[in-house]
Amino acid sequence: MKISKVNKRKLIGFALFSLIFYWCFPKQLFNDPYATILNDADGQLLSAKIAKDGQWRFPELDSVPKALADCILYFEDEYFYAHPGVNPVSMFRAIQQNIASGKTISGGSTITMQVLRMSRHNPKRTYWEKFKEIFLAIRMEFSYSKSEILNMYVSHAPYGGNVVGAEAAAWRYFNRPLSRLSWAEYATLAVLPNAPALIRPGKNSAALKAKRNRLLKKLMEHQVIDSTTYTLSLLEALPTKPNDLPSNAYHLLEYISRKGQAGKRIESTIDGTLQLQVSASLNAYVQHLQENSVNNACAMVIDLETANVKAYVGNANFAGANAAYVDLIQARRSSGSILKPFLYANAIQEGRIHPSTLLKDVPVSINGFSPSNFNKEYEGVVRAEKALARSLNVPATNLLKSYGMVRFYEQLKALGFTTIDRSADNYGLTLILGGAEVSLWEVAKTYANQARKLNAFFTEEKELKTGLRLIDSERLTKTALTYDYGTWWLISKALQEVQRPGIEGGWKKYSSSRKVAWKTGTSFGFRDAWAVGYDAKYLVAVWVGNAQGEGRPGLTGVSTAAPLMFNIFQRLPEQSWFESPESNLKYIHLCATSGLAPSPNCPTVQVTAPLQSKMPSSCTYHQVIHLNSAFQRVFKGCVKDSEITDSTWFVLSPIVSYYYKKSHPNYDNLPPYSKHCLQGDSEGLAIIYPQDQTEVIIPKNFDQTYEKIIVEATHHNANAQLFWHLDNTYVGKTKGNHALALDIKPGLHHLSIIDSQGNKISIQFKGH
C-alpha cells in the first residue's frame, strides 16, 4: 500500500516531534550546589557544611522513608503512581477553582510537575509555563522512575528560609535524621513546601498546625495510621526555631572537602560514638591545661586491622576555645623525639646494632652541635633498647652520625614524611631531635604502617597497602617503606618499656594491664608535646601545645601528651598484643654485657634478631689483664709467669666510666699497677670539661667582668693527684674530686693535666 504525500508529511512531522519530545529534555535537572555532608561509619551525620549559595541543601537522597512518602502523596499527589506525569482530574479541578475565585489559587500540579518547576527555579506562573510543565512532565516520566522523581522532590522542596530538602529540614527543625521522625513530624515536612515562606516553623504556627492536623486526619481516614497514633500526633508541638546542625568532626569535614569531596555526601570510617568520647576527653583535658596557658590539642584513633581512622579530633572546640577552627592534625610542628624509633629500626635491621648493644652516652660536641639528654644526666653507656625507651638524645645523635644523616633523611622520605622538605644538610644532626617539622597525620600514618605490618605477617597479604582510610569506599593504594617483621617486633618490645605517667606507672604489676608500645616527643622550648601508642588493634596519636607556637614550662610528651593518650586508650575495648613473628627471627649469640658480636673474652647470651640482619661489630670492651697475687696489674717480664693470673675485665674509657659509675656503683676500674711494674697509663686519665676543640662561653658578672669557669677531669685511681696547666702555666692541683675554677680570657687555650706517675693528657679549646 502506497503512502500519500500528506501522510508522509504527517509521519515525518510525528517523527520529528517524537525526537524533539525525547531529546529536548535536559540530561541533568538540578545544577544547584549541595552542602557537604559527613556521615560516620553507621551513616549518622557527624558534620555538615552549607552549600556555596548559602542554602542548607543536602545531596539527593537514594530513598525516602515510607512514612514521609505516604504523607507527601496524600497531601500533594494522591494518584502519583497512577498518572503519567499529569493528572487531568486535578488540572480540571484547579481550573474550576481558579475561575470561581477569579484568581489563581491552585495549579493542579503533580509532584512531577513541581519537580520540574523547582529545577527551573520557579518561573513566573503563566498559561504558557503551565503548558511547558505539562509537556515536560510527560517527557520526564520516560526518563525517571516514580521513586526517582519522588526522591528529587523530597531533596529539593523548599522548607523555609535557607532550608532546602526534607533531610536538611529534619535536622534544622527536629535535630534528628530523616529516618527517625514521628508521624507528626513527617506530616509537618509534607505540608511545609506548600507555602514555606508563610508557615515555616516559628511563623504562622497556627496555620502550619492546622495543615498538619488535616493531613494526619486524612492519614487516619485512609487507615495509614491508627486512631491512637493520630491522637498522640495531634499533641506533638511544632518546632519554634531552626537548630544548628551537628559539628562533631568539623576539622575532618574541612580536610576532606579540600580533597575534592565538597558538595558530596561523605560516608566516613569514623566511629561516631568514639568521636564524641575522644572529643569530650580532649576538651576536658585542654580546659585543665589552660591553667598553664596550654590551649590546644588534637588526637586520632586508628583501627590497625583495617587502616580506618575511627576518631579525628583536630582541636579543642569547647565554648571559648583558642583557635578552635585550626586543624592541628594537619599542622606542621617540630618533631621532638618522635622519629627516633625509625632510626633505631634502620640500625637494627641492618645489623649495625642489636637492642642490647651498648651505646655511648656522654657529653659530646659534633661540629659545634652539643646535644644533651632531657634530664641533663648521662650514663656513660646504655643499652640501645633502654636508650630508645628513655628517649636519650646523646645516644640517638651518635647513632645518627654513625648511620649517616643523609641516609636517614632519605629513609624518612621513603616512610612517607612529606613535610620534611628541606635539604638534608639544612637539618643536620638536629633531624633526630626535633629539627624537622611533621604533622600528627603523617606521624600516626607512619607508625600505623609499621604496626599493621606486624599484623600482616599472620595474613595472606603478600604486599601491605600502606596509608590511612578516611572514606569508607577509599582504597589503600600507596606503598611506603615498612620495616622487616622482626625489626619492628623488637622496636615494639622496646617501646613497651617506656615509663608510663601517673597512675599508669604501675601497669606491669597487673597481669590484666593493657600492653601498649608508645613513644613521646618534646620539641625545643617546650612548644610541642607528642605521644603515639599502639597495641595489635588500635593506634592512638596525640599532640598538645599552642596553635600559635608559644612554649610553656612542663609541656612535655610524657607529662602532657601521654596522659591524654592513655585516657583515650581506656575508652577502647581491651585488645591482645602482637604475636611473635617467629619465622622472621633468628637466634644469635652476642656478648652478654655489650650486646656486640662476642670476642673470645666475652660471656655470651642467646638473643633473637631480624632474620636478614647482619652481626654487629665485635666487642672491644672486654680485655684480658695480668694480675699478681695482690690483685695488682703486672705484665710479662716484670714478674715470673708462675705469679701471673689472667683475668677478663670489662673496661670503659675514663670519661665513659666517670658517668657510668654514677648509676652503676659496682663497676670496677682497672686495678693499679704493681710498683714493680709501673708503666704509662694515660688511658686512665681524661678531661671531662671542656672537650677538645670546642668553644666555651665565659660567663659575665653584672659589671661585665668575666667569671671563672669550672674544668673537670677523671682518673681511674680514686686517690690520684692531678697537676693542672693552662697555656703551659701551672694553675693548681686536685685530688679525689678533680674540679678546678680557672680564670680564662676569650681566645684559644691549651689545657693539660699530669698525674703523679707522669701520665699526661692535653686538649685545646676556645673561650668567648
In a domain, 182, yes or no: yes
Write the CB contacts of 548 (distance below 8 Å, at least 6 apart in sequence).
323
In a domain, 294, yes or no: no
Contact predicate 267/37, CB 8 Å: no
DSSP 309-343: EEEEE-S--STT-TTTT--TTSS-EE-TTTTHHHH
Q: What pLDDT sits at residue 696?
A: 83
Question: What is the rounded CA–CA span in Å between residue 94 and residue 86?
Answer: 13
State the pairing for strand pair 685-689/709-715.
antiparallel
Sign of CA dihedral 419, 425, 426, 430: positive
Give the type of residue at 592: A
Q: Is 4 helix (H, G, I), strand (E, B) or coil?
A: coil
What is the separation, in whole angstroms, between the first and last Cα of the chain?
117
Place of cell 676500674: 669
State the pairing for strand pair 538-545/437-438.
unpaired
Question: What is the rounded CA–CA span in Å between residue 758 and residue 720?
Answer: 11
In the listed set 198, 215, 235, which residue is the last one of a domain according to the structure?
A: 235
The count of structural domains within the chain is 2
Sign of CA dihedral 659, 663, 530, 343: positive
Question: What is the rounded CA–CA span in Å between residue 524 and residue 433?
Answer: 8
Q: What pLDDT sits at residue 509?
A: 44
Beta strands in 156-251 (DSSP E): 163-164
State the pairing for strand pair 517-522/709-715.
unpaired
Contact predicate 141/84, CB 8 Å: yes
Q: Which of 47, 67, 51 is nearest to 59 (CA)?
A: 51
Helix extents (H) in 379-504 = 384-389, 393-403, 405-415, 424-427, 440-456, 485-496
Question: What is the rounded CA–CA span in Å between residue 616 and residue 245?
Answer: 60
Sign of CA dihedral 647, 653, 656, 659: positive
Other CB atoms within a 10 A radius of the CB of residue 515 amount to 16
Question: What is the rounded CA–CA span in Å between residue 302 and residue 753?
Answer: 59
Question: What is the rounded CA–CA span in Å between residue 496 and residue 578?
Answer: 12
In a domain, 173, yes or no: yes
In the listed set 209, 235, 261, which residue is the last one of a domain according to the structure?
A: 235
Q: pLDDT for 293-328, tens place per residue?
A: 999 999 999 999 999 999 999 999 999 999 999 999
In a domain, 147, yes or no: yes
DSSP 651-699: ---HHHHHHHHHH-TT--PPPPBPGGG----GGGEEEEESPTTEEEPPP
Contact predicate 469/259, CB 8 Å: no
Q: Which residues of the chain have pLDDT under 50?
A: 14, 105, 507, 509-512
Q: What pLDDT sits at residue 12?
A: 61
Contact predicate 616/595, CB 8 Å: yes
In a domain, 78, yes or no: yes
For residue 169, the domain's CATH number is 1.10.3810.10
In the listed set 220, 235, 250, which residue is the last one of a domain according to the structure?
A: 235
pTM for the model stands at 0.85
Q: How far is CA 535 from the centre of its chain?
A: 15
Sign of CA dihedral 206, 211, 214, 219: negative
In a domain, 172, yes or no: yes
Q: Could you list the residue range(s) of the whole structural domain that residue 98 is in?
A: 55-235
In a domain, 249, yes or no: no
Contact predicate 33/53, CB 8 Å: yes
Place of cell 526518563: 143
For residue 748, the domain's CATH number is 2.60.40.10
Q: What pLDDT sits at residue 282?
A: 98
Sign of CA dihedral 155, 158, 164, 165: negative
Q: Is 140 helix (H, G, I), strand (E, B) or coil?
A: helix
Question: What is the rounded CA–CA span in Å between residue 317 and residue 296?
Answer: 9
In a domain, 355, yes or no: no
Question: What is the rounded CA–CA span in Å between residue 286 and residue 295?
Answer: 6
Question: What is the rounded CA–CA span in Å between residue 352 and residue 617?
Answer: 7
